[in-house]
């Protein structure tokens, strides 16, 4: 998604100019100083912060980071799918920065990022960011999801990542409606949480998902779904249908008067079949907000491909 990232930054932050990059790492130059709490310039940036520069060795990283006064240390691979030896970095940094803790960050902490390449010929890259709601607490924004072997699709990971990233208050006994449910990855994840799920899709749910307690299948197109077919209460709406985002949101808009009175929040998976569609993201966010949601947040999650997750909250829960 690097091309999408560059387009998105160019739209949202025209003050930045593309600079040094490697696969999985993109830097930009700024005329003005970049603060450690600089807001992410793109929904496609897993981690966003002020660049410090390269470190040729763990000892070099210790020397540079000793000067910044970080509260938290995040060491992670530039490419999460590669085999990257982080042990020398953890060992050297643990000894050289004894007062800086590793592990998930808490809000307000100054986080030192050490982004390690799988190739010994390339330096690691150092950066700083302030932990807040714009940043995933885990190193490298890698949200750990334990996907069961019998999960029928990566939708299981997508919904679990969305819940973790946005801190969604999903409860046992909630009711969810998923548009585009087959073969049932997200349905399985929610059902395992004790949520009653109504899946709308002409495709079949996997047999093991269909057999789970609280799972209902409505084998119809979303365009044919009528108000009277909806459950009396819906707490969570999921939309992951293989339609252009404008078409999918048009169908959602038709259902919103029925859903809005009880809806807590919604998770939209917006398909980006063309990278130029990045320019439409603000319009889509505005369209979703127009349904009555109090807030809309977007992010490209680890399990997303050519798509973006949009989380919208209708009302707050403790």
Domains of the chain, CATH where assigned: 2-141 (3.30.2130), 155-313 (3.40.50.150)
Span 287-304, pLDDT tens digits: 999 999 999 999 999 999
What is the pTM (predicted TM-score) of this model?
0.92
Backbone phi, psi, residue 94, to 5°: -65, -40
Q: At what angle do helices 155-166 and 185-192 cross, to 10 degrees?
A: 50
Q: Is 180 left (phi over 0), alpha (psi -120 to 50) or beta?
A: left
* Mean pLDDT, residues 88-112: 95
Q: Which residues are catalytic?
A: 271
Tokens 């307000």 belong to 108
Give the pLDDT score at 275. 83
Q: What is the mean pLDDT of residues 188-202?
A: 98
pLDDT of residue 246: 93
Indicate if the alpha-carbon torsion angle 137, 141, 144, 147 is positive or negative: positive
Long-range Cβ pairs for the range 164-173 (8 Å, 24+): 164/136, 165/136, 165/299, 165/301, 165/309, 165/311, 166/297, 166/311, 168/236, 168/265, 168/267, 168/311, 169/264, 169/317, 169/318, 170/195, 170/236, 171/195, 171/235, 171/317
Give the model's confidence band at 318: pLDDT under 50 very low, under 70 low, under 90 confident, else very high: low
- Secondary structure of residue 285 in the 3-state scheme: helix
pLDDT digits (tens, 9 = 90+) for 11-58: 999 999 999 999 999 999 999 999 999 999 999 999 999 999 999 999
Judge whether residue 108 has pLDDT over 90: yes
> Which percentage of the chain shows pLDDT scores above 70?
100
Rg (C-alpha) for the chain, rounded Å, is: 21
**Is residue 43 a contact partner of residue 300, using CB atoms and an 8 Å limit?**
yes
Spatial separation of the C-alpha atoms in residues 217 and 201, rounded to whole Å? 8
State yes or no: pLDDT of 107 exceeds 70. yes
Nearest-angstrom CA–CA distance, 94 and 90:
6
pLDDT, one tens digit per residue, over 114-159 is 999 999 899 999 999 999 988 999 999 999 999 999 999 999 999 9
């Amino acid at each position: 998604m690097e091309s999408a990232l560059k387009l998105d930054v160019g739209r949202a932050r025209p003050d930045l100019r593309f600079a040094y990059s490697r696969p999985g790492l993109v830097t930009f130059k700024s005329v003005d100083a970049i603060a450690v709490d600089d807001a992410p310039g793109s929904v496609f940036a897993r981690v966003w912060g002020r660049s410090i520069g390269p470190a040729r060795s763990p000892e070099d990283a210790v020397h540079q980071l000793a000067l910044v006064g970080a509260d938290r240390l995040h060491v992670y691979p530039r490419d999460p799918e590669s085999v990257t030896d982080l042990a020398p970095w953890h060992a050297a940094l643990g000894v050289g920065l004894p007062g800086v803790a590793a592990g998930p960050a808490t809000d307000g902490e100054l986080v030192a990022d050490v982004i390690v390449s799988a190739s010994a010929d390339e330096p690691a890259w150092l950066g700083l960011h302030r932990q807040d709601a714009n940043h995933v607490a885990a190193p490298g924004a890698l949200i750990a999801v334990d996907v069961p072997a019998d999960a029928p699709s990566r939708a299981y990971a997508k919904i679990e990542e969305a819940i973790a990233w946005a801190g969604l208050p999903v409860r046992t006994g909630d009711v969810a409606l998923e548009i585009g449910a087959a073969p049932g990855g997200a349905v399985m994840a929610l059902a395992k949480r004790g949520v009653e799920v109504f899946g709308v899709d002409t495709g079949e749910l996997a047999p093991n998902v269909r057999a789970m307690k609280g799972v209902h299948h409505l084998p119809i197109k979303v365009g044919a779904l009528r108000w009277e077919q909806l459950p009396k209460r819906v707490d969570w709406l999921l939309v992951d249908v293989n339609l252009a985002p404008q078409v999918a949101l048009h169908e959602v808009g038709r259902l919103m008067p029925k859903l809005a009175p009880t809806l807590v929040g919604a998770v939209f998976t917006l398909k980006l079949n063309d990278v130029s569609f990045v320019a439409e993201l603000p319009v889509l966010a505005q369209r979703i907000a127009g349904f009555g949601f109090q807030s809309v947040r977007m992010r490209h999650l680890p399990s997303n491909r050519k798509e973006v997750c949009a989380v919208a909250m209708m009302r707050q829960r403790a």
